[in-house]
Structure 1
């Protein structure tokens, strides 16, 4: 991590959010949904380079009491492999350690091989006791 980055505790704009998701190979989202989502984050962190370009991000969503979900962990391909995913997770976990309710469940859906990163932060596989499920609308 030899490049200078700025860590900002703020969700990105919806357009740059969608652009980062696309660049990082994450599934596409609609602009209307992105506009709503960015405003409804419990906490968000963005990484920006010296030109203020969005190079990484992560968010926490949920009810703020019993359930939290970590979503949108993304790092631009130009910056992958430099430890920025760990920086993002450290910021998110720092927020939860300080503001999260004791006993709350924090969940995430892990793409392989990112599951290795999440394990370093204490996340465990839910199977076989439970299985993650989803449905797109």
Structure 2
């Protein structure tokens, strides 16, 4: 399998296809369009010419970055796609920051993906020094 990663080519239509491939309840295309336009970067994985995964990076460029919408189609999970996407994202973050800086790269993991993130250097929350990741949904 030839795997390639493209940066900042994710379209709203492809986003929705990959998002729904993992059974997530998708937002509307206009909302996706706004989210993609305001992302720091997006990364799309292709096996041969077939899109098989994506991840978005959002952040302030100075202290914090956040991983969002990390999805790999089920038939391609555990085949290195997620690792390749994460490696591309981390390289990009390093390219954005100044020498000597350390920035926080954060996410909220699904239960099934905790082991994947731990293998890639992420620490679970809560831990001895930090509380749980938290979120709330705001609806209009």
TM-score in same-fold range (> 0.5): yes
Look up the match of 1:31: 29
Look up the match of 1:50: 48
Matches within 5 A, 1:86-101: 86-100=83-97
Give yes or no for contact 2:3–2:81 (8 Å, CA) kept in 1. no
Give yes or no for contact 1:7–1:47 (8 Å, CA) kept in 2. yes
Q: What are structure 2's unaligned runs of at least 5 residues?
A: none
The C-alpha deviation readout for 1:99-119, integer Å capped at 9, x for no partner, is 235232211001122111111
Q: CA deviation at 1:11?
A: 4.1
Q: What are structure 1's unaligned runs of at least 5 residues?
A: none
Looking at structure 1, the residues matched to 97 and 125 of structure 2 have their Cα atoms a distance apart, in angstroms, of 20
Q: CA deviation at 1:36?
A: 0.7
What CA RMSD, in Å, does the superposition of the two structures yield over aligned residues? Answer: 1.7
Runs of 4+ more than 3 Å apart: none
Query: Normalising by structure 1, what TM-score?
Result: 0.87
Query: Normalising by structure 2, what TM-score?
Result: 0.85
Look up the match of 1:127: 126
The C-alpha deviation readout for 1:25-81, integer Å capped at 9, x for no partner, is 234222111001111111221112333x32111121011112110111111122122
Give yes or no for contact 1:41–1:59 (8 Å, CA) kept in 2. yes
Looking at structure 1, the residues matched to 73 and 87 of structure 2 have their Cα atoms a distance apart, in angstroms, of 18
Q: Which secondary structure does the structure 1 equivalent of 2:111 belong to?
A: coil
